[in-house]
Structure formats: C-alpha cells, structure tokens
C-alpha cells in the first residue's frame, strides 16, 4: 500500500540539506525518549502504541454499540470539546458526503455536535432539531469535569429523560470517559450507561484512535478498521526508517523547527478540499496545545483554498514574512467532474473544456505554491493519494508522532496544557463557583 509522502523541495530556498542533517542527533534522542518513555510527559505516551493495541474484539464492541445507536436514531449528538470532539469531527467531515444532512434516505444517522461552545442559540437550535427526530447522545470527556460539555449534557440528558423516560434515555446514552475518576464516570455508573474508557495515558488531543474518535466515526458509517490499519502502517514506517531524510515524520518535525528558528513563527495548514477543513482544526489543537508554552511555539493556523485565496491570499503573498505553509495535497478525488462546453463562451471558460475539476484545482495548487514560494513563503507538501479511512489513519499518526518529536526538539513538554486553566479559573470565579471567591474579587477590581 502507498504511503503519504512529504516533499520539502519548496523549502530549500530557505534552508539547506546540511542544516537538516545537523538535527540527526536531536531527532534520534527525541525518538529514543519516546520509545523508552524517558522524556517530558512520559506518562502520556499511550497513543504511541494504540494502533497495535486495538484488537478486533475491541473494534467489534465499538461497532456493536454504533449499530445499536444507529438502529434507534436519526441523529446522534456527540457532546465534547477540544480533543473530545475535534478528532471525530475531523475524520467524519473528511469522509462524509458534503451534503449528507440533505441526503434523502440515508442509512446512517446524522452526527451533530454539542458542548463545543456555550452559545445559547446554538444549543436551543440543537434541542429544537433533535426534538423533531429520534436521537441519541454520546457524551465524551476525559476528565469528566469540563464545563462546556457538562452543561450541554445536562440539557440533553434532561431532554432525553422527558421524552423517552429514564429507562428509555439510558438506552440512548453512551459515555466515554476516564476508567475511574471524574464526575462523568460517577454519573455513568450511577445511571447505568454503556461506557467506554479513555486510557489514562492518552491525552485528549491524541485520543482520536480510542473510542473518543472511533465510536462517532463508526456511527457515521465509516470503516474504523481501515483507519486503525492506516495508523498502524504509519507507525511502522515511522519506526523503521531511522535516517532523517527518509523518515517523513522526523523530516516534517525538523523542517518546521528550522523554519521557526529562522523567524517563520506561523505555520499555515493549507487544503484545497472543504472536507479537510476540520482536519486542520484537529491539527491546530494538536500542535497548539503541544508546543505553545514556555514562551515558545509555532502558531498553527489554517486556510481553505481556493476560497481563502480570495481573502487571505493577499496577506500570504505580500504580508509580513513570518509564515510558512504546509499543504495537504490530495492526489486524487473520489469523484470526477468535467468542465462542460458552452457555445456562447461568455465566461471565456471554454479553454478548460474536457479538463476535470480536480485538474483545475491541482493547477491552482501548483500556481499558488510557486507564487507563495516566490513571495518568500516556504512550502512543505504532504501528499495524500486519496482521502479515505486508510490514508486519514496514516495522516493522524503522522501528525501525532511528528508533533511529539517536534515538541522534544523545541524542548517543551508536548503532552501537557497548563495554560488552558487560566481562562477556566477566571470563568469559574466570575460565575461564582465555590472556592473561587478571592479570585472573583481580584477580577472584579480589574473590570
């Protein structure tokens, strides 16, 4: 089976092969620290072996649960935030029909999301929609104490119980959380919900290959076995090629660190396919929370081309030269559509007749790449043969492993996120949570 490929040739105006070579020992050390679990955050390395640990019996249990929810639901609401929803949404969006919500007679339930914001209108609209349909809820929280999903789940749980009764609601709720701790585990045990556990040594942003991602993806009708196989193959590839230049994972980690040191402080993940928009959101959490600390870290951004070429294109071409781009370059689309002939040719598009849309999109990609490199923006290319479960699985493991290596090169702990607590503490204090009285006073004095 083919593998996703990295092409760094369009960064070589900005860095040299010999510079890359100087990172060989740092990469070897990082890889060793990961393999031997001796580096910072070594109690959060469970994701490294996940693809090999997931056996078919476990996948079967997930599929059975998915089947049950599918059989009783037109809509399944996935409640979660951050790593407890982005992986599922990234994969489901990447694989779904673009207009699945309007498909008539679809076999699989529509997956919707809640608890990823605290917007009243969003949740009121969601309740309105689910009340017109048969629905179920998958509530996901590693800690089991995160405010946003807890509020959304409270709303949905009450709604389900009013509608289906306590017993009926129980059949429609699955909880995915810590095996022992946290409020959600306690509630699930008390209420008798079906549960799956998130391994304690797998952090939220690395958890897409646990039930956190796998259950919603299976509910949406996708092949979770292929997803895991793709990850497994990328794991093997990343481990079997120690030479930096031949190892796509290490090479990506190194190139982005070199560019960062040369003042390229923002990395923009580029796609030319709307189905990849949320893949970039998943990637942003992965890299943002892993590297943005101790006053360091590349700022992970994303754009959707060609749409954003008509808005952000100007900045990227001519703005401050502190950026580099990483393109998710898709070789083939699943479907083909050709540009039709028009006898009037008023739009002057007849020169494209017979060309496929993918060919046009590809030339847009190439033209943009050349223009941006010319404009002083290094471009890393990550080529994906086609968007399917298998290659998305490869891509997930590729970015996870590269992120860990990159974080170690940067000398940060890529597995914690202490900075996220600051807003939470302020929010709790402002909302009057017990124990936050002193902070509340301090904050109010500043307002």
Ligand X SMILES: O=P(O)(O)OC[C@H]1O[C@H](O)[C@H](O)[C@@H](O)[C@@H]1O
**Catalytic annotation, residues:** 289, 424
Burial of 102 by CB count in 10 Å (0-12 exposed, 13-18 middle, 19+ buried)? exposed
The smaller minimum CB distance to ligand X, of residues 171 and 416, is found at 416
Interaction between residue 141 and ligand X (CB under 6 A): yes
- Rank residues 248 and 288 by Cβ distance to ligand X and give the closer one: 288
By CB under 6 A, tell whether 82 contacts ligand X. Answer: yes
Question: Least distance to ligand X from the beta carbon of 83, Å?
Answer: 3
Check: CB of residue 40 under 8 Å from CB of residue 415.
yes
Of 136-144, 326-334, 404-412, 428-436, the window that binds ligand X (rule: CB under 6 A) is 136-144
Least gap, CB of 99 to ligand X (angstroms): 29
Does 420 bind ligand X (CB under 6 A)? Our answer is yes
Q: Counting contacts by CB under 6 A, is residue 426 touching ligand X?
A: no
300 in contact with ligand X (CB under 6 A): no
User: Among 63-71, 142-150, 219-227, 291-299, which window interacts with ligand X (CB under 6 A)?
Assistant: 142-150
Rounded Cα distance between 231 and 253, Å, is: 18
| Interface residue with ligand X, options 83, 109, 199, 288 (CB under 6 A) | 83
The residue from 39, 87, 109, 204 that contacts ligand X (CB under 6 A) is 204
Minimum distance of ligand X from residue 201's CB (angstroms): 14
Interaction of residue 372 with ligand X, rule CB under 6 A: no
Q: Does 306 bind ligand X (CB under 6 A)?
A: no
Binding status of residue 146 toward ligand X by CB under 6 A: yes
Q: Is 143 a residue that touches ligand X (CB under 6 A)?
A: yes
Q: Which is nearer to ligand X, 26 or 210 (CB)?
A: 210
Per-residue contact string for residues 271-290; x = within reach of ligand X by CB under 6 A: ------------------x-
Decide if residue 413 touches ligand X (CB under 6 A).
Answer: no
Nearer to ligand X, 292 or 313 (CB): 292
C-beta separation of 325 from 365 below 8 A: no
Name which of 11 and 141 has its Cβ closer to ligand X: 141
By CB under 6 A, the count of residues binding ligand X is 14
Minimum distance from residue 162 beta carbon to ligand X (Å): 25
Give strand pairing partners of 367: none
Q: Does 195 bind ligand X (CB under 6 A)?
A: no
Q: Is 388 in the site for ligand X (CB under 6 A)?
A: no
Whether the Cβ atoms of residue 4 and residue 394 lie closer than 8 Å to each other = yes
| 46, 81 Cβ separation under 8 angstroms | no
Instruction: Indicate whether 149 belongs to the interface with ligand X (CB under 6 A).
Output: yes
User: Of the listed pieces 141-149, 301-309, 344-352, 435-443, which binds ligand X according to CB under 6 A?
Assistant: 141-149
**Window contacting ligand X (CB under 6 A); options: 56-64, 81-89, 261-269, 299-307:** 81-89
Q: Which CB, 366 or 420, lies closer to ligand X?
A: 420
In the complex, which residues of this chain contact ligand X (CB under 6 A)?
A: 81-84, 141-143, 146, 149, 204-205, 289, 417, 420
């Amino acid at each position: 089976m083919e593998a996703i490929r990295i092409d760094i040739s369009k960064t070589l105006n900005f860095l040299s092969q010999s510079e890359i070579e100087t990172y060989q020992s740092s990469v070897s050390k990082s890889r060793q620290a990961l393999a031997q679990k001796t580096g910072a955050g070594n109690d959060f390395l469970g994701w490294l072996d996940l693809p090999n640990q997931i056996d078919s019996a476990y996948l079967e249990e997930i599929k059975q649960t998915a089947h049950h929810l599918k059989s009783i639901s037109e809509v399944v609401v996935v409640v979660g935030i951050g790593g407890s929803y982005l992986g599922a949404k990234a994969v489901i969006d990447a694989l779904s029909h673009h207009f699945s919500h309007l498909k008539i007679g679809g076999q699989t339930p529509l997956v919707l999301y809640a608890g990823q914001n605290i917007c009243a209108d969003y949740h009121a609209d969601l309740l309105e929609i689910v009340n017109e349909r048969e629905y179920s809820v998958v509530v996901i929280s590693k800690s089991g104490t995160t405010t946003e999903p807890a509020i959304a789940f409270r709303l949905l749980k009450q709604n389900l119980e009013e509608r289906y009764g306590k017993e009926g609601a129980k059949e429609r709720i699955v909880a995915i959380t810590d095996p022992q701790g946290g409020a959600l585990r306690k509630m699930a045990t008390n209420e008798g919900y079906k549960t799956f556990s998130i391994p304690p040594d797998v952090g939220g942003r690395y958890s897409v290959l646990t039930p956190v991602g796998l259950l919603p993806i299976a509910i949406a009708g996708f092949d979770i076995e292929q997803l895991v196989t793709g990850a497994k193959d990328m794991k093997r590839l990343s481990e079997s090629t120690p030479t930096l230049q031949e190892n796509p994972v290490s090479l990506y980690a190194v190139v982005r660190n070199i560019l960062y040191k040369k003042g390229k402080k923002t990395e923009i993940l580029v796609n030319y396919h709307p189905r990849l928009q949320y893949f970039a959101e998943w990637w942003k959490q992965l890299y943002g929370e892993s590297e943005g600390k101790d006053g360091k870290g590349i700022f992970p951004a994303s754009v959707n081309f060609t749409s954003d070429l008509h808005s952000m294109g100007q900045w990227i071409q001519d703005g401050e030269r502190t950026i580099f781009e990483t393109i998710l370059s898709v070789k083939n689309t699943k479907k083909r559509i050709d540009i039709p002939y028009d006898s009037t040719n008023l739009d002057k598009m007849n020169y494209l007749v017979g060309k496929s849309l993918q060919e046009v999109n590809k030339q847009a990609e190439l033209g943009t790449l050349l223009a941006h490199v010319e404009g002083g923006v290094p471009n890393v290319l990550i080529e994906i043969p086609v968007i399917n479960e298998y290659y998305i699985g490869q891509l997930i493991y590729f970015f996870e492993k590269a992120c860990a290596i990159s974080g170690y090169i940067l000398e940060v702990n890529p597995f914690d996120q202490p900075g996220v607590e600051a807003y939470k503490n302020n929010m709790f204090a402002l909302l009057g949570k017990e124990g936050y009285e002193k902070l509340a006073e301090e904050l109010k004095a500043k307002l």
